[in-house]
Each structure stands twice: as C-alpha cells, then as structure tokens.
Amino acid sequence: MSHATLRADAARNRELVLDAAGRLFRERGLDVTMHEIADEAGVGVGTVSRRFHSKDELVAALVEQRMDRLLDVLRRGVQQLDDDPWDAFATAFTDAVELHVQDRGFIEALAAQDRCLPPSDAQRAELIGLLDQLVAGASAVGAIRSDLRATEIPELACMVSRAGASAAGPGSSDTWRRACQVVLDGLRA
C-alpha cells in the first residue's frame, strides 16, 4: 500500500471516528466509551487511539467542529443585519441555542470546560467579533438593551441550552424555545 493510500485511509478513518463519536455524543452524552465509538465507526479501538490519543482530544475536535457550525449561524445573522437588526440578532441567538440543544455531548463538553466560549483563540475572537456586530446592529436601532455586552451572549445561550436540555431532554422544542423567548424578551429594549 502506498504512502498516499495510507494517508487517505487514515483521513477517512478519522472522519469515520468523528462522525460516529458525534452521533453517539449527540444522542447519549459524553459517557460513551472509546470501544462504543470504535464499534459505531466500524474500526478497531487501536484506530481510534491512533487518531485521538484520548477521549478528551476527541471531544475537543468535536467541540471545534460544533463551534465552526455556531460561527456559521452567527455569520448568517450578521448578513441579515441590514434587513432587520433585531430579527437578525434574535434569529442568530435562537439558532445558536438550537444547535446546542440538539447535541447533548456539546452541552456537556461546554459545561465541563465551565465556559461557553470556544477553546481556540481564533474561534473565540471571531465569535466575539460577530456577536459585537449583532449587538451593535440591534443597538443602533434601539432594539436591544443598551447595557448588553457581546461577551455576555455566549453564557446566556448556554444557560438557555442547559435549562432546555435538562428540563425536557435534548431536542425538546417546547422548553428551550420558551426559555429562549423569555431571554430575548428580557434583552429587547
């Protein structure tokens, strides 16, 4: 087998492991074992260990992926600022919370790190920059509380996500949507 084939196989296995772990963590939380992840991915435990030296490393890779999705949500919100700044903010906030609620493992990983910001400096800077734009846009038209800081938004989103997930289980729309609306009502000017 050539070196390029081995690299392609390793990359494919890494994606299989990430996909399997993502599914299992999303459904069952972080208590899933590396053996269960290997079985779900259709690879051996050694393959999982070669790609990710620890479960923490695997969780960190998945958190980074989820944060990329969160950044996409916020970028879409910023693109909508010219239409209706409050709606852009509220939709981005709601979509961000929904992303959290749909993934039990993501909520648990954020809770374990005891903060709701991305671990990566680059992702953290982009997240706060996008939130600054959303808050400034809504503030410019008097639609949002004037004392709200962009750095407070991640904690509010996580608070709603955790409450919604623990009250009704991951993915339950009623509880988290109601909690989200209560927070948004409190942020509106």
Q: Residue 188: phi, psi to the nearest 5?
A: -70, 140
What's the number of domains the chain is made of?
2
pLDDT of res. 27: 85
Do 76 and 42 sit in the same domain of this protein?
no
Are residues 133 and 101 part of one domain? yes
My answer on whether 7 and 43 are in the same domain is yes
- CA neighbor of 67 nearest in space, from 5, 141, 135, 157: 157
Q: 28, 53, 78: which is the final residue of a domain?
A: 53
Same domain membership, residue 100 and residue 37 = no
State what percent of residues in the chain have pLDDT above 70. Answer: 90
Output phi, psi for 54, to 5 deg: -150, 165
95 and 167 together in one domain = yes
Closest Cα partner for 160 from 115, 97, 76? Answer: 97
Give pTM, 2 decimals: 0.84
Looking at the fold, whether 72 and 142 belong to one and the same domain comes out as yes
Tell me, yes or no, whether 137 and 163 share the same domain.
Answer: yes
Query: What CA–CA distance (Å, rounded) separates 30 from 10?
Result: 24
Q: What is the model's pLDDT at position 6?
A: 59
In one letter, which amino acid is 141? V
Domain that holds residue 20: 1-53
The whole-number pLDDT of residue 7 equals 80
Mean pLDDT of 58-73: 91
**pLDDT score of 103:** 82
Least confident window among 47-51, 106-110, 157-161, 172-176: 172-176
Q: Where residue 32 sits, what CATH number does that domain have?
A: 1.10.10.60
Same domain, 157 and 69: yes
Do 82 and 162 belong to one domain? yes
Q: How many CB atoms lie within 10 A of CB 121?
A: 8
Of the three residues 53, 75, 95, the one that is the final residue of a domain is 53
Per-residue pLDDT at 108: 80
**Residue 82 confidence class, pLDDT cut points 50, 70, 90:** very high
Average pLDDT over residues 8-15: 87
Handedness of CA 20, 22, 23, 24 (dihedral sign): positive
d(CA 71, CA 91): 14
- Mean pLDDT score, 46-66: 90
pLDDT at residue 18, rounded to an integer: 94
∠ CA 87-166-74, nearest 5°, is 25
Q: Are residues 66 and 140 in the same domain?
A: yes
Which whole number is the average pLDDT over 72-79? 98
- pLDDT tens digits, residue range 114-165? 667 777 889 999 999 999 999 999 999 999 999 999 999 998 998 888 776 6
> Could you tell me the pLDDT band of residue 85, with boundaries at 50, 70 and 90?
very high
Asked if pLDDT for residue 24 goes beyond 90, the answer is: yes
Asked if 92 and 182 sit in the same domain, the reply is: yes
Q: Are residues 96 and 140 in the same domain?
A: yes
Report helix, strand and coil shares of the chain as percent, to nearest 5. Answer: 75, 0, 20
CA dist 177 and 183 (Å) reads: 10
Q: What is the mean pLDDT of the chain?
A: 88
**What is the spatial distance between Cα 103 and Cα 183, in angstroms, rounded to a whole number?**
21
CATH for 147: 1.10.357.10
φ, ψ for residue 73 (rounded to 5)? -60, -45
